[in-house]
Amino acid sequence: MIFTILLCVIVALFLIFFGKKLKGSISYLLTLLPLSLFVYFTTFIGKIAQGEVPVQLFEWVPSMGIHLSFRMDGLALLFSLLITGIGTLVYLYTSYYLKGHTYLDRFYGYLSIFMGAMLGLVLSDSIMGLFIFWELTSISSFFLIGFNNHDKASRTSALQALAITGFGGLFLLGAAILFGFIGSTYSIQELIHSGIDFTESPYYVVLLVFIFIAAFTKSAQFPFHFWLPGAMKAPTPVSTYLHSATMVKAGIYLLLRFTPLLGNHEFWNTTLFTVGAITMLYAAFHTLFRTDLKGILAYSTISVLGILVFLIGIGTSTALHAALVFIVVHALYKAALFLITGILDHETGTRNVTKLSGLKSVMMPVAIAGLLAMLSNAGMLPSFGFVGKDLIYEATLQSSEAVLFTVFAVVTNILLLYAGYQVGIKPFIGTLPENFTSVHLPDKRLWMPPLLLGVLGMLFGLFPSILDNALFQPSLNELAPDSFVSPLKLWHGFTFVLLLSIVTIALGLLLVFVLQPSAVKELKLKKVDFLAPKTLIRGFANGFQKTASLWTNFFQNGYLRNYILTIILFLSFLIGYYLIHNVTFSLDFNSLLDLTIYEVSTLLIMVVAVFYAIFTKSRLAAVAAMGVVGYAICMIFVFYSAPDLAMTQFTIDTLTVILFVLVLYRLPKYLTLSDFKTRVRDGFIAVLFGSLITILSIEVLQVSHAGETKQFYAENSYVLAKGKNIVNVILVDFRGLDTMVEITVLVIAALGVFGLLKLRIRNK
C-alpha cells in the first residue's frame, strides 16, 4: 500500500526533471498514474468483501510507539477508489484543458503530491501518520488553489484555504497526542479494540472539540465554510478533484473513522446533526442567489457536506449507510457538473448562468452529460441519486426527531435540485446567443469524463447492489459492527419515502420555473455580507493583527536598551517570585575556602572596574573597564585550576572589547544618551537583579549535589579528560561540541559586525 503513495511522490519528482517533455500532446500519458492505482485498488474488492484486511507496518519512532501503519479496510478502499477513479478522469481532462500552459508539468506535480497525500490519509492506521498526510493535503491544495499565482484573488484564496484548514490541522495534532496519552497507542484499530470507553474519559469533550474543529474546517462546515467558494479561483480540474471527491471529503472521512471511538454519545450526535443541519440549509439557500456556475456548485457542495455530517450525527446504521452511499453519489454527479462548467468556461469564456443558453445545439454530448448529472443530483429515477436520496429520507424518518429532520432534508434537496438544474440543464436549453455561434464541441478529452460519470450514475442506480456488496457493506461493518441494513434497491414500491421524493422533485421543478437567477438578487445578498461568518472572522483576524502590531511595536521598538530592560524585569519577577516562597537566607560561611591576597586583590580590581564603567562619560573607557572585569574573571578561573577555561574567557573578552571598540570608533566619544531619571531607574533595576542573583547563588550553595551525575564526573573527569577541575572538564571536554558551536556563533557574529562596519550606504 505504501508504494501507491511513494509512486505519486516519485512521479512528482520525475516531473521536475522531465516535465517539459510531457507538456505537449503526450501529457495525457500521465493519466496512467491514477489509472494504474485505480486498477490496483480494484484487486482488493474481493478480498475486502470476504473479510480480509491487509495491513502494513513500518517502525518510525518505536521508543514513542509511533509507527507508519497502513490498513486497507472497506472504508479506506471506498475512498481510495474515489481518489484514483475521479483522479484518472481529472488527469485526462487536464491534458487538454491546460494544453500549452507554461506550468502544466508543475500542475501535474502538485496534483500527484495531493493524490498521494489523500491516499496516505485514508490508508493510515496511525493517527500521527494520518495527521502528517492531512497537513500535506492542505499544503498541496494551497499550491493547486493558487496555481494562477499572477492573480491576486487566487493567491488570497489559497492563503485563506491554507489558514483555515491548517488551523484545523493543529487541533487534529492535539487529538492525536491526547489519544496516545489515553490509550498508550497511536494505532486507530488498537484504540478501537483496547476496551477503553472514550465516552467515559474526562478528556472526552476535549477530544470532541479537537476532532470537530479539524473535520469542520476541512469539510467546510458553518462557520468555516467560506474558504471553499473562494477556492473556486482555482482551475476547474482542481475544483473538480478537491471539492467533489477528495479534500473536502477528508473531514467526513475523519468523522466516519472515529465514529466507533467517539460516537453514540449525546454530545457527538447533537453537535454533528446541529452543525450539519445549519450548514446544509444555509449553503443550499445561498445557491438561489448565485449566478456564477462555480459559485453555485461551491455552495451546493457545502450543502451536501452538511448533509453528510448531519447523517453521521443521526448515527443509526441506516444513517451511516446513507452517508456512505451519498459520498459516492455526490462524487459522481458533482465531479461531472464541475467538468461541464469547465467546458462551458473554456469554450464560451463565461460562467455566468444568465448569459448561457442553447448550447446543446453545438455540444450535444456535453448536454447529455449535464442531463444525466442533473438527474442524479435531483434524485430522479433511475439514477443512483434516487437511491441515495431515499436512504436519506429513511434515515431521518427513523431518527429521534423524525418530522423536523425530514423537513430539513426535503427543503435542502429542493434547493439542491434548483442548483443542479442551473448548471446541468439551463446552459443547454433555449436559443443560442449570436456571440456563441462560433462555439464548437471541444476535444473528447474534455467531454468524455463528465459523460462517463453521468453514465455511471445511471448504471449504479439500476444496479446498486454492485457497490453495496463490494464497498458499502464492508465499510459499514467498520463503523457499526454487526449492524444490519436492507440491501440497496432501486425500487421499494409505493412508500412514504417515495412520496417524499415525488414532493421534492415537484417543488424543486416549481422553484426552477418560478425563480430565475439574476445579478440583482446577488447584489442584494451582498448588502448583508457584514453578518457573514467570512466578514466576522476576517474582522477578528484584522483586529488580532492590529493587536499583534501594537504589541510588537511596543516591545520590538528598535532600542537594545529596552529589549534588555524587558528581559531583566521579566527574569527579576520570576526569580523574585520563587525566592519569596522558597528562600532560607542562611549560609554557612565556615564552608567557604579562606580567601587569599590574590583573590581579594582581583575582586577589588573587578569592583573598581565596574564602578568606573558605570560612571565614566566615555563609552570607549567603559568598554575598556568591562574588559578589565572580564580579565579579572579569567584570573579567578586560574586560581581555581581552570587554565583552559581562563584562556577561553580571555579570548572571548579580548574579541568582545575589540568588536566594541571598532563599532564605537566612529561615534562621538562623549555623548549623553539618557537623563538622570533613566539612569536612576536602570541603576535600581541592575541592583535589584544583581541582588536576586546573589541570593539565588547562596541558595544553590546549600543544595545537596549528591547524585549519579556528580559521581560519574568525579570518577571520570581525570581518567577520561586528564583534568582535576570537574567543572572545567565538563565545559571543555564533555561539552566540547557545545563549546565549538559557541565559538562558531561568536565567529559568525564577528563577521557580521565586520561586514556592517565595511558597509557604505549611499543616499539616493
Over 90: is that where the pLDDT of 253 sits?
yes
What are 426-436's pLDDT values in tens digits?
A: 999 988 888 88
- CA dist., res. 353 & res. 523, Å (int): 15
Over 60: is that where the pLDDT of 763 sits?
no
What are 596-647's pLDDT values in tens digits?
A: 788 888 889 999 998 888 888 777 888 889 899 989 989 888 888 778 778 8
What are 21-32's pLDDT values in tens digits?
A: 777 677 888 899
Mean predicted lDDT score pLDDT of the chain? 87
Angle 465-470-471 from CA coordinates, rounded to 5°: 100
pLDDT for res 35: 95
What are 712-726's pLDDT values in tens digits?
A: 878 888 888 777 777
pLDDT for res 592: 56
pLDDT for res 764: 46
Average pLDDT value for residue range 444-451: 93
Judge whether 299 and 290 are in contact, CB under 8 Å. Answer: yes
Judge whether 598 and 639 are in contact, CB under 8 Å. Answer: yes
Over 80: is that where the pLDDT of 290 sits?
yes
The three grid cell numbers given for residue 684, joined into one nine-digit string: 535600581
What are 511-561's pLDDT values in tens digits?
A: 999 988 877 776 777 776 666 777 778 788 888 889 988 888 887 777 777
Judge whether 370 and 427 are in contact, CB under 8 Å. Answer: yes
More confident residue, 391 or 484: 391
What's the one-letter identity of residue 462? L
pLDDT for res 650: 86
pLDDT for res 706: 63
pLDDT for res 24: 67
Q: What is the CA radius of gyration of the chain?
A: 35
Over 70: is that where the pLDDT of 473 sits?
yes
Over 70: is that where the pLDDT of 396 sits?
yes
Q: Which residue has the cell 565545559?
A: 731
More confident residue, 763 or 522: 522
Backbone phi, psi, residue 463, to 5°: -130, 70
More confident residue, 578 or 509: 509
pLDDT for res 246: 86
The three grid cell numbers given for residue 761, joined into one nine-digit string: 550606504
pLDDT for res 597: 83
- CA dist., res. 616 & res. 170, Å (int): 54
- CA dist., res. 317 & res. 379, Å (int): 21
Contacts of 74 by beta carbon, 8 Å cutoff, 6+ apart: 48, 471, 472, 473, 474, 475, 476, 477, 478
In this structure, how many other beta carbons lie within 10 angstroms of the beta carbon of residue 144? 24
In this structure, how many other beta carbons lie within 10 angstroms of the beta carbon of residue 686? 12
- CA dist., res. 479 & res. 700, Å (int): 59
- CA dist., res. 704 & res. 340, Å (int): 78
Report the percentage of the chain scoring pLDDT > 90.
42
With cut-offs at 50, 70 and 90, classify the pLDDT of residue 259.
very high
Over 60: is that where the pLDDT of 286 sits?
yes
Q: Please give the model's pTM, rounded to 2 decimal places.
A: 0.79
Q: State how far Cα 757 lies from the chain centre.
A: 44
740 to each of 659, 743, 744, 747, how far by Cα in Å? 20, 5, 6, 11
437 in helix, strand or coil? coil
pLDDT for res 380: 92
Over 60: is that where the pLDDT of 421 sits?
yes
Nearest to 411 by CA among 491, 306, 528: 306
Judge whether 85 and 35 are in contact, CB under 8 Å. Answer: no
pLDDT for res 642: 75
More confident residue, 624 or 756: 624
The secondary structure element, H or E, covering residue 255 is helix 247-257
With cut-offs at 50, 70 and 90, classify the pLDDT of residue 700.
confident
What are 324-336's pLDDT values in tens digits?
A: 999 999 999 999 9
Contacts of 51 by beta carbon, 8 Å cutoff, 6+ apart: none
Contacts of 61 by beta carbon, 8 Å cutoff, 6+ apart: 67
Average pLDDT value for residue range 6-19: 88
- CA dist., res. 501 & res. 750, Å (int): 78
pLDDT for res 162: 92
What are 164-205's pLDDT values in tens digits?
A: 999 999 999 999 999 999 988 899 999 998 888 888 889 999
- CA dist., res. 252 & res. 267, Å (int): 17
Over 70: is that where the pLDDT of 91 sits?
yes
Contacts of 528 by beta carbon, 8 Å cutoff, 6+ apart: none
Over 70: is that where the pLDDT of 148 sits?
yes
344 in helix, strand or coil? helix
Average pLDDT value for residue range 753-761: 71
In this structure, how many other beta carbons lie within 10 angstroms of the beta carbon of residue 25? 11
Least confident of 210-224, 438-452, 671-685: 671-685
